[in-house]
Structure 1
């Protein structure tokens, strides 16, 4: 089921909550999507993991998906505070937090800023960390976003996956990105250019699983190796047949790894 959770005055986040009756110890997974997507990117996790009695919760960031789209609030601190507000409102405990790409960086800031409140394990998937975009790439994406956002989103779609995707899948993915507001899409590009999470990494106390595609052309695999070195209790699993989308490109392996990690 889907519902809205207020995170500050006038700002409500959309939450997709699949199998809420499966809220048992170690059985709840909170998914934080990547830029410029929504919780829908995890369809192929929800389909399988909810059937295994896991409670799967997807949160659309402010400005993206079905959430409210204010003009403000696109910093790691604010986006982490939004996640904290949802976890508190739903009284979640002992959850596994899964963050993809920019969602991984948001999850890192959450774990650092809130001492991992409510979270027992962390999964980082092709995380945009410790840094996000180079200034050159960010400025190119920013110019396209402000002048021809569909062209920008088509480029993101074309570069996202290593494995072949069909035209219908490409169209679905493309439209997902356009559900975001233009201003929030641009604001997060600036965030990825101007902020980083280096200082947060040593503060992560929870066991951390790092999944990263070796063919990732968005966030280089070497950054996953940096995370592995800097996060104390972490393990890196390379996905040798994936680009930036291992949650779909190697979905069976991905889902199995998440379940094993939660045991």
Structure 2
């Protein structure tokens, strides 16, 4: 997937002391120490509607981080995805009578225009969820081999407590995590799940919805696994 053109990136006078970021795991501001190459993955848009000021604030913030690293002399490997298959997009297609692919293409093009207008430096790798489905299937198979995947009505879920470090980065209590999960597209109350925070990684094909044939069966990725696959592959 194509991103957008690279804007001029001027040098900033003075001494660049590097980038400090708030570390949620420790609750402190810490210097980033990326070495010669700074690596950054940013979750992109779900292109079902026009981008807004919240999107602008998000991507300008990460653009600032990238510019600070560049000014400090680092090469930056910046990766961003486009969630070009997901429930909000399919719901918008049904509501408007348009093909979901037409909506995704139109809104992604508008997002590119917005980023260009804001002089945001594009990611080095810009990948859609659909083109990454083979990678998603491969990583889900890897997790299955480690015993971290289970089925609920033919959908596949990742057991978050298969990782003993789960939750240490966010540093939130479980009630807060469940509330955030429910608010941001999760399904903590689905019957059959082992834990409310277990997340969908592969959804079995639904009637009248797009689906792809993979080693996992006929279906499509869950929301979060695509970011994992793209981040690990780039």
Normalised to the residue count of structure 1, the TM-score between the two structures is 0.29
Normalised to the residue count of structure 2, the TM-score between the two structures is 0.31
More helix by share: 1
The structure that has the greater radius of gyration is: 2
